[in-house]
Structure 1
Amino acid sequence: MTAALTFFPVCNGDMTLLEFDNDQKLLIDIHVRKAADDPEDDTPDVMSQLRDRLKRDEKGRLYVDGFLLSHPDKDHIGGLVRHFHLGPPDDWVKADDKILIREMWSSPIVFRRSSKTHVLCDDAKAWAKEARRRVALYRANKVIGIEGDRIQIMGEDIDGKTNDILGIVVKTDSLVTSLNRVSAGAFEARLLAPVPKGDDEALDEMLAKNRSSVILRFSIRGAGYADKCRFLSGGDAEVAIWERLWDKHGTYNANWLEYDILQAPHHCSWHSLSYDSYSTYGEEAEVCDSARSALAQTRKGAIVIASSEHIDPEDADPPSDRAKREYISIVNGKTDRFICVTDIWDDEQQPLRYEIGASGIVKAVKNAARAATAALGIGATAAQARPHGS
C-alpha cells in the first residue's frame, strides 16, 4: 500500500491525515468550521473528505487508528464533539455515525492551558474529559484497554504526575513506534516537544503557553521501504521552542529535525521565526538564527506547507508574508516548494495530498496527464538549506 499525507483546506487551522503503508491512519488536529457542515455553503466540506478516506470496523463504525491533538486551540480541535465519538466505545450510536478514535495521542500539558486569559473551547474541554477517562481506565486496571479506550501521553507531566502510568507515556526525545498497539515498522516518530520544565524559571515562564504544542518528526515507510518521507509537525510552537530545540539538539542530533515536508508552525506565523514584532519593526525585524536553523534542516528538494488562508502582505499575521519569504529562502529560493493549502483548493478543488512510495514522494493530481510533472524528487539525500543570509 502507498503511504500518504493529506492536508485538508481548513483556512487558518490544521487538519492532516497520515496514511501508513500498513493501512493505519493517524489524524493530526481538526478545524471544522460550522460553514463546512452546511451543504448550502461553499466552504470545503472537510469532514466528507476525511470520511471518504476512512474504513469501517466489524461493527460498522468509521474509525481513525489514532488522533493526535497538537494543542487545544479552537483552530486545531473545532468540530470534535459534532463529528467524533467520545466516551466508552460500546456507547457508539449507529444513528449518529460518529468517527471512533481508537487511540488518542495527547500532551498532558494541554489540560492546564485554561486560565482567565486563555479559555478552553467546548471541544477542547471535551477532549480533555475523554483523555482523562482513558487515563483513569489505565490507572485503575494497569492494562491497555480495548480500541476506543486507548491513549498515548506525549511527554511526562510535571511533579511526577505521570510516574504511575509510564506504560502509556512517551518521554520527550524518544521514539513513538506503535499506533493503536500495532508496531509494524510503517513509521517512527521522534517526540521533540512538549519541552519539559527546566531550571531557568524566566525561560519556563516564557515557554508556558508555547510548551504545550506537540512536535513530532515522522519517518514514514513507503511501499515497504523505510524512511521514504520525513515529516515535521509542530502545531503552533513559536520561536522560543524552536530556539530551545536547536540549542539542545543542533550540535549532535540536528538530523532529528531533518524533513522532506515541513508543516509551517502556527499557519506560517512570523512568531515561529522571530521575537521581533513585524508590525513594529517591519523589514528590520530580525530572524532568530537558532529557531531558523531548527526549521531549516531540509533533505534534498524539501517543501514547506502552509495550512493557512491566502498569504497577503497586507493582512495580519498569521499567515505572514515575511515568514513565507523566509521559508522560501530555506528551500533555496524555490517558490514552487512553498505551498499554501488554500491556494491548492482554489486551483484544484481537492485537498493537498502527497503519496509516498518506493520511489519517493509524489503530489497527487487530478489530471493524469500532469502526473509526470508531479514527482518532487525529494527525500533521497540529506542536504541542509543554505545558511541564513548567504
Structure 2
Amino acid sequence: MAAKTTHFKVSNGDMTLIETGDGHTIIVDINIRAAADDPSDDTPDVAKQLRECLSRDNEGRLCVNAFLLTHPDADHCRGLEKHFHLGPLGDWKKADDKIVIREMWSSPIVFRRASRNHTLCSDAKAWAAEARRRVRHFRANGYAYDGDRIKILGEDESGKTDDLTEILIVGGDVFQTICGVTDNTFSGHLLAPLLAEDEEEAEFLSKNNSSVVINISLGKSDLHNPSYYLLGGDAEVGIWEKLWGKYGDDPSQFQYDILIAPHHCSWHSLSWDSWSDFGEDAEVSEDARSAVGQPMSGATILASSKEIKDDDADPPCVRAKREYKSILEPVKGTFTCLGELSGDAPLEFEITSSGGPKQKERSAKAKIAAPAILGLAGAAAGSQSALGSQPFKHGDDD
C-alpha cells in the first residue's frame, strides 16, 4: 500500500497522522480543541477525521499503532483524556469507544524540562502517568504487548533509563520498529532530545522549549528511495543550534521533503531576537537556519498554524514565513500554511516511488488492516549518508 501523511487543521497546534507502506499508523501530537468537539461550531472536527482514518482490532477497538508526543504543551496533547484510552486494555469500555494507543513514544527528559518552567495541563499529566505505568509494566515483566508498549525517546538524567535498553532510543539512533515489529517502509532518526553535558548546559536547555526532533523516512514498498519528514515540535533556536553543532558535518541528517515549521512558524526557532521588539532588525541564527534549511528538491514546508498575517504576531510570524520561503527558493519548494487553506478537510500527501510526497485530493479513505499482535523486537540502528552541499534530489526508480 502507499504510505501517506495527513495534516489536520488545528490552528496554532500540531496534529499529523502517518500511515506507513506496511500499514502502521503513527499519530504525532494532537490538538483537539473543545470547539472541534462542538457540532454547532465551525471548527474542523479533527477527532472525527482521525477516527475515519483508523481501523478496529478483533475486539472492535479503534487503534493507532504509535503515538509520538513531541513535548507536553497543551496545543500538542489537548484532547488526550477525552479521545484516547489510558490504562490497561482490560479497562477499555465499548460505550466510551476511545482510541487505543498500542505503543507510546515518549521522552522523559522533555517532561522534566517542561515541568521546571510551567505547570503541566491535565492532558500532559495524564500522558506522563500512562507513560510511567507502561514503564513499570515493562520493568516488572521484561516485555509488553499492545496497549502496554512504550518506546522511550532519549535518555533520562542520572541514569534513570539505563535498565530500559530494550525500549530506549538514544539520541542519534535510527529505529524501524513499530509495536515490536520491523516496518520495512519506515525509519525514525532521533536527533533530540539530548542529555546536557554539564550543569550550565542543563540550565540552558531548561530555558528553551526542548522537544523531540526526529527525521522520519517513509517509503512506498521499502526504503530504497524514501521521502523525509523533519518534525521538531516547538524546538527553539538554541536547540537547532545545538543540533547543527552536533550533526552539521553531515547535512543529510536534516534533509527533508516535508518540514513541519517548528513552533507553528515561530520566529523563536530561527532567532534569539524578538520579532515584536526588533522587527526587521532581528538577526537570523545561521546555525539554526542551516539545521532547518536542508530541503530536498521540490520540498514543502508546512506551517501548522492559524493564518499568517503581516503584523507583530509570533507565532505564527510573517518574518519566519519569509525566511522559510527563502530556504525553499533554490529547490523550487512550496510553503503552505494549514490555516490559510479553504475548507475543513486536512491536507494529505501520498508517498510515491520517486519525486517525494505528492499532495492529493481529499477522498474517502480505505480502512487499514490492523497488524497482528507480536512480541517485542530489537530496534534497528543505522545511519544516513552525506549528500554534500548541493540541493538534495530524489533518484529515479530502478
Match of 1:233 in 2: 231
Q: May I ask how many residue pairs the two structures share in their alignment?
A: 368
TM alignment of 1:143-154, pairs within 5 A: 143=143, 145-154=144-153
Match of 2:27 in 1: 27
Tell me how far apart the structure 2 counterparts of residues 382 and 94 of structure 1 sit (CA, whole Å).
Answer: 54
Letter in 2 for 1:34: A
User: Is 1:353–2:348 an aligned residue pair?
Assistant: yes
Tell me how far apart the structure 1 counterparts of residues 158 and 236 of structure 2 sit (CA, whole Å).
Answer: 25
Match of 1:297 in 2: 294
Secondary structure (helix, strand or coil) at the match of 1:95 reads coil
RMSD: 1.9
Deviates more, 1:89-98 or 1:216-225: 216-225
Letter in 2 for 1:148: G
Kindly indicate whether structure 1 or structure 2 has the higher relative contact order, using CA contacts under 8 Å at least 6 residues apart.
Answer: 2
Letter in 1 for 2:216: F
Against the structure 1 CA distance between its residues 329 and 126, is the aligned structure 2 distance closer, same or farther, given a 3 Å change threshold? same
Letter in 2 for 1:290: D
Against the structure 1 CA distance between its residues 316 and 286, is the aligned structure 2 distance closer, same or farther, given a 3 Å change threshold? same
Match of 2:3 in 1: 3
Tell me how far apart the structure 1 counterparts of residues 390 and 312 of structure 2 sit (CA, whole Å).
Answer: 31
Match of 2:264 in 1: 267
User: Is 1:364–2:360 an aligned residue pair?
Assistant: yes
Secondary structure (helix, strand or coil) at the match of 2:182 reads coil
Instruction: String of CA shifts for 1:18-69, please: whole Å, max 9, x gaps.
Output: 0001110000000011000000100000000000000000000000000000
Letter in 2 for 1:332: E
| C-alpha displacement of 1:348 | 4.3
Match of 1:222 in 2: 220
Match of 2:204 among 199, 203, 206: 206
Tell me how far apart the structure 1 counterparts of residues 96 and 123 of structure 2 sit (CA, whole Å).
Answer: 17
Deviates more, 1:78-87 or 1:110-119: 110-119
Tell me how far apart the structure 1 counterparts of residues 146 and 206 of structure 2 sit (CA, whole Å).
Answer: 33
Match of 2:59 in 1: 59
| C-alpha displacement of 1:202 | 3.1
Q: Is 2:331–2:391's contact at 8 Å kept on the other side of the alignment?
A: no
Tell me how far apart the structure 2 counterparts of residues 242 and 207 of structure 1 sit (CA, whole Å).
Answer: 12
| C-alpha displacement of 1:116 | 7.2
Letter in 2 for 1:137: H
Secondary structure (helix, strand or coil) at the match of 2:310 reads coil
Letter in 2 for 1:176: F
Tell me how far apart the structure 1 counterparts of residues 77 and 351 of structure 2 sit (CA, whole Å).
Answer: 27
Task: Structure 1 unaligned segments of length 5 or more: list them.
Answer: 368-380
Match of 2:367 in 1: none
Match of 1:337 in 2: 334
Against the structure 1 CA distance between its residues 292 and 127, is the aligned structure 2 distance closer, same or farther, given a 3 Å change threshold? same
Letter in 2 for 1:136: R
Tell me how far apart the structure 2 counterparts of residues 351 and 209 of structure 1 sit (CA, whole Å).
Answer: 33
Against the structure 1 CA distance between its residues 114 and 284, is the aligned structure 2 distance closer, same or farther, given a 3 Å change threshold? closer
| C-alpha displacement of 1:357 | 2.1
Q: Is 2:26–2:68's contact at 8 Å kept on the other side of the alignment?
A: yes
Against the structure 1 CA distance between its residues 382 and 99, is the aligned structure 2 distance closer, same or farther, given a 3 Å change threshold? farther
Q: Is 1:5–1:17's contact at 8 Å kept on the other side of the alignment?
A: yes
Tell me how far apart the structure 2 counterparts of residues 333 and 117 of structure 1 sit (CA, whole Å).
Answer: 39
Tell me how far apart the structure 1 counterparts of residues 204 and 291 of structure 2 sit (CA, whole Å).
Answer: 19
Match of 1:76 in 2: 76
Deviates more, 1:160-169 or 1:55-64: 160-169
Tell me how far apart the structure 2 counterparts of residues 114 and 349 of structure 1 sit (CA, whole Å).
Answer: 32
Tell me how far apart the structure 2 counterparts of residues 165 and 294 of structure 1 sit (CA, whole Å).
Answer: 30
Tell me how far apart the structure 2 counterparts of residues 57 and 335 of structure 1 sit (CA, whole Å).
Answer: 43
Match of 1:85 in 2: 85
Q: Is 1:222–1:229's contact at 8 Å kept on the other side of the alignment?
A: no
Secondary structure (helix, strand or coil) at the match of 2:226 reads strand
Against the structure 1 CA distance between its residues 354 and 260, is the aligned structure 2 distance closer, same or farther, given a 3 Å change threshold? same
Tell me how far apart the structure 2 counterparts of residues 162 and 359 of structure 1 sit (CA, whole Å).
Answer: 39
Tell me how far apart the structure 1 counterparts of residues 307 and 241 of structure 2 sit (CA, whole Å).
Answer: 27
| C-alpha displacement of 1:178 | 0.5
Deviates more, 1:78-87 or 1:189-198: 189-198
| C-alpha displacement of 1:113 | 4.1
Letter in 2 for 1:298: P
Tell me how far apart the structure 2 counterparts of residues 305 and 11 of structure 1 sit (CA, whole Å).
Answer: 12
Instruction: String of CA shifts for 1:135-158, please: whole Å, max 9, x gaps.
Output: 001111122x11000000000111
| C-alpha displacement of 1:184 | 2.5
Deviates more, 1:182-191 or 1:93-102: 182-191
Tell me how far apart the structure 2 counterparts of residues 53 and 260 of structure 1 sit (CA, whole Å).
Answer: 23
| C-alpha displacement of 1:177 | 1.0
Letter in 2 for 1:358: S
Tell me how far apart the structure 2 counterparts of residues 105 and 352 of structure 1 sit (CA, whole Å).
Answer: 24
User: Is 1:248–2:231 an aligned residue pair?
Assistant: no
Task: Structure 2 unaligned segments of length 5 or more: list them.
Answer: 364-386, 393-398
Q: Is 1:354–1:364's contact at 8 Å kept on the other side of the alignment?
A: yes
Percent of aligned pairs with the same amino acid: 52
Instruction: String of CA shifts for 1:341-381, please: whole Å, max 9, x gaps.
Output: 1122xx243101100022442101249xxxxxxxxxxxxx9
| C-alpha displacement of 1:384 | 4.8
User: Is 1:279–2:276 an aligned residue pair?
Assistant: yes
TM-score (ref. length: structure 2) = 0.89
Q: Is 2:189–2:216's contact at 8 Å kept on the other side of the alignment?
A: yes
Q: Is 1:67–1:103's contact at 8 Å kept on the other side of the alignment?
A: yes
